Amino acid sequence: MPAMTLTAGVLFSSCIREAAKNAEADILSCTVDGVELPQTPVVTNDRISFYVNTKDMEKVKSLAPEFTLTEGATIDPASGTVRDFTTPQQYTVTSEDGQWTKSYIVSFSSSDPMNEYHFEEHKPYVYVDTWTGEVSYKFDIMYEPRDNADTLFWSSGNPGFMIANSKAPAADYPTAHCDNGYVGKGVKLVTRSTGALGAMFGSPIAAGNLFLGKFEINMGNTLLSTHFGEGVPCAKDPLAVSGWYRYKRGAQMTDKKNKPIEGEDNFDIYASFFEPTDGVPYLNGTNVKDTTSKSTTIIKFGQVPEDQKIADGEWHQFWFMLDQVSGKTVDEKKLRDGKYAIAIVLSSSERGAEFIGAVGSTLYADELELYYKESE
Amino acid sequence: MIVPILTLIFSVKAGAQEERNANLIKSERLGWEYEIRAGINLGGTSPLPLPREIRKIKSFNPKFNGAVEGVVTKWIGSGWGISGGLKLEEKGMETGADVKNYHTKVIKGDQKVEGYFTGYNSTSVNMTYLTVPIMANYRFNSRWKVRAGIGTSVLLGGDFNGYVKDGYLRNGTPVGEKVTFSEDGRGTFDFSDDLRRMQWSAMLGCSWRAYRHFSVVADLSWGFTDIFKESFKTISFNMYPIYCNVGFAYTF
């Protein structure tokens, strides 16, 4: 039998044809001269975010970023073209086989954190079915406009919910905008059922969540999908977070097998200020609250205290300090150079990551503020 | 399943051999020949030619596929004959390959993603067919005979499943969001429900008579209908069962 396997292998190998030209059109990495980059630019499937020190923001008027692409792909305008990045610029990448194109928005922003989050803006996540050409509005993406026409995007687990519930309207997603915020619009997080299929596979609920960072589906371990604080540099020493919320619990708590359990649901809002390293470039569901282990990269952590969590469905203000993790200090030089990052996380079920919560638990939030020490 | 049937047939046969009665001899004189064949199917269920998406075959296991067949041949003179048979056979294999931009649909946990996968793909095929081969036969001499014809097969049961790992799938299109799969974060697929029930194949074979009743046989069966239903578009290329059956025949 092994001899035969070998023969078959050789037989097949001789039939392997020349590879087709690449169909992918990715920007794999990028660099730029003429300005110091305190942190590695963040590359997603359709956005590239460069962060520079505030003192360098003047220089973004004329920069020529260079891109590494999928082999054989081309980019327009060409890599190395001088452009004005006071507003984000668009690039189009065409695959080697010429069949596929992808647009990227390239932006430069200050590595200082935003200190006010108003939740006034959202845009649709648009999905185009390549085969039928059908365009559908899947869910809301919350964002905050920034000074130089750049925006800060909030992330959520909505892309994960979309895969299991492709037919759901945007308002039925766990995370959506709401028109009745505390001031103007706000954000609404609802713990949703993922349906019979979800229950069968041990993820019967999806808590509404919203965070600063990036979401990238990880099929093996959903806790790794949330990249907390990725691409959210924080060149200021954060002190406290405040904001407005109203919360109502869902009726019945269930566990990951969708079995009713004792107890009541609660929301969660917290912030982790950390130092991205090569090994741990961002936090994820496994370590975002880990302030005790030796390997933690978290410098400061804060969370809405239990006695401030009121579930009467009325607007209340919350406020919490970020406390220094024992044994950690804020290095002034690293701070100035934008070597630290921050993740602010909101969830409609505090144990949502373990798929424990009550369907229907609803958290509205608005007017978040991050207080930080002004540099001398 | 087939091995016990084989054993049964042969034990029944051993007894029947002595009772080879006058009727059989008479029908042999009239040009009728009865055979029972048993053997194994070796081969693959494969796209032809190999599509460009397949970059490297890393493993191939032909599996042990049993086949048993009853054949009746009517010799009509000058060495020519026509035969019909009824064959119960398994066609299966397991293969692992590195693929690039391979269109598929996988499930991981409660999530289902369809798109273009680059990485390692393992496929296991196992199908049981009931086949009716109709063939033209030619007898060179008392030892050698050859045959060619077509086979119509009905799928009695089939599995087509596997997994992907060590790679990523682009959701929807080759420029869609990347979904990564690792060694312990595999995605699985099962297209068993999409297998076509009827299968047509071209057949070519020969027999060498070693003893009066026993022959060695070899038959190539080349499927020319895609193993999947026409409505099935997830795998972008057609796959054909191409198997060689080797075994023994008992002539009554």
Residue A25 has its nearest CB partner, among B55, B175, B178, at B175
In angstroms, the CA B27 to CA B34 distance is 10
The verdict on A242 and A142 lying in the same domain is yes
In the predicted structure, residue B5 carries a pLDDT above the cut 70: no
The verdict on A195 and A332 lying in the same domain is yes
In the predicted structure, residue B144 carries a pLDDT above the cut 80: yes
For residue A7, is it within any domain?
no
Q: Determine the distance in angstroms separating the CA of A76 from the nearest CA of chain B, rounded to an integer.
A: 16
Q: Determine the distance in angstroms separating the CA of A376 from the nearest CA of chain B, rounded to an integer.
A: 43
For residue A160, is it within any domain?
yes
Q: Determine the distance in angstroms separating the CA of A66 from the nearest CA of chain B, rounded to an integer.
A: 20
From first to last of its 376 residues, what are the pLDDT tens digits of chain A?
444 444 444 455 557 888 889 999 999 999 999 998 877 787 888 889 898 887 788 899 999 999 999 999 999 999 999 999 988 899 999 999 999 999 999 999 887 778 899 999 999 988 877 677 788 888 999 999 876 556 788 999 998 888 778 788 889 999 999 999 999 999 999 999 987 666 766 778 999 999 999 998 877 788 888 999 998 888 889 999 999 999 999 999 999 888 999 999 999 999 999 999 878 889 999 999 999 888 889 999 999 999 899 999 999 999 999 999 999 999 988 887 778 999 999 999 999 988 899 999 999 999 999 999 876 5
Task: Give pTM, 2 decimals.
Answer: 0.66
Question: Which residues have a Cβ under 8 Å from the Cβ of A184 and sit 6 or more positions away?
Answer: A118, A119, A120, A366
- The parent domain of residue A103 ranges over 22-110
pLDDT score at B181: 87
CATH of residue B159's domain is: 2.40.160.20
Residue A163 has its nearest CB partner, among B62, B111, B185, at B111
pLDDT score at B20: 58
Q: Is the peptide bond before A77 cis (omega within 30 degrees of 0)?
A: yes
pLDDT score at B29: 76
In angstroms, the CA A176 to CA A173 distance is 6
Question: Which residues have a Cβ under 8 Å from the Cβ of B44 and sit 6 or more positions away?
Answer: A8, A12, B60, B62, B93, B95, B241, B242, B243
Among the residue ranges A180-184, B43-47, B146-150, B187-191, the one predicted with the least confidence is B43-47
Mean pLDDT of B159-186: 89
CATH of residue A49's domain is: 2.60.40.2340
Cross-chain residue pair B177–A160, CB shorter than 8 Å = no
In the predicted structure, residue B84 carries a pLDDT above the cut 90: yes
Mean pLDDT of B6-10: 49
The verdict on A158 and A134 lying in the same domain is yes
The verdict on A41 and A168 lying in the same domain is no
pLDDT band for B16, please (50, 70, 90 cuts).
Answer: low
The verdict on A145 and A59 lying in the same domain is no
- Residue in B174, B158, B247, B152 with CA at minimum distance from that of residue B206: B247
The verdict on A186 and A313 lying in the same domain is yes
Q: Which of A110, A135, A155 is at the close of a domain?
A: A110
CA-based max dimension of chain A: 76
Q: Residue B44's closest chain A neighbor by CA?
A: A8
Cross-chain residue pair A95–B50, CB shorter than 8 Å = no
What is the per-residue pLDDT across B90-129, written as a single tens digit (0 to 9) for each? 999 999 999 999 999 998 766 788 999 999 999 999 999 9
Number of structural domains in chain A: 2
Mean pLDDT of B159-180: 91
Is A227 within 8 Å of A309 (Cβ atoms)? no
Q: Which of A65, A89, A110 is at the close of a domain?
A: A110
Residue A12 has its nearest CB partner, among B60, B173, B182, at B60
- Distance, C-alpha B128 to centroid of its chain: 8
pLDDT score at A1: 41
CATH of residue A219's domain is: 2.60.120.890
Residue A164 has its nearest CB partner, among B42, B111, B173, at B111
Inter-chain Cβ pairs, chain A and chain B, closer than 8 A: 110
Which candidate in A163, A193, A257 is best for mutational testing of the B interface (most B CBs within 10 A)? A163
For residue A5, is it within any domain?
no
Q: Residue A12's closest chain B neighbor by CA?
A: B57
For residue A149, is it within any domain?
yes
The verdict on A259 and A279 lying in the same domain is yes
pLDDT score at A244: 97
Token readout for B79 is: 């060495």
Cross-chain residue pair B50–A16, CB shorter than 8 Å = yes
- The parent domain of residue B216 ranges over 2-251
Q: Residue A197's closest chain B neighbor by CA?
A: B110
Instruction: Say whether residue A20 is in contact with chain B using an 8 A CB cutoff.
Output: yes
ipTM, 2 decimals? Answer: 0.72
Cross-chain residue pair B101–A23, CB shorter than 8 Å = yes
The amino acid at residue A251 is A
For A59, A160, A192, A347, the CA distances from A208, given in Å and listed in that order, are: 39, 11, 7, 6
Number of structural domains in chain B: 1
pLDDT score at A64: 95
Q: Which of A110, A143, A158 is at the close of a domain?
A: A110
The verdict on A80 and A44 lying in the same domain is yes
Instruction: Say whether residue A221 is in contact with chain B using an 8 A CB cutoff.
Output: yes
pLDDT score at A14: 57
- Distance, C-alpha B140 to centroid of its chain: 28
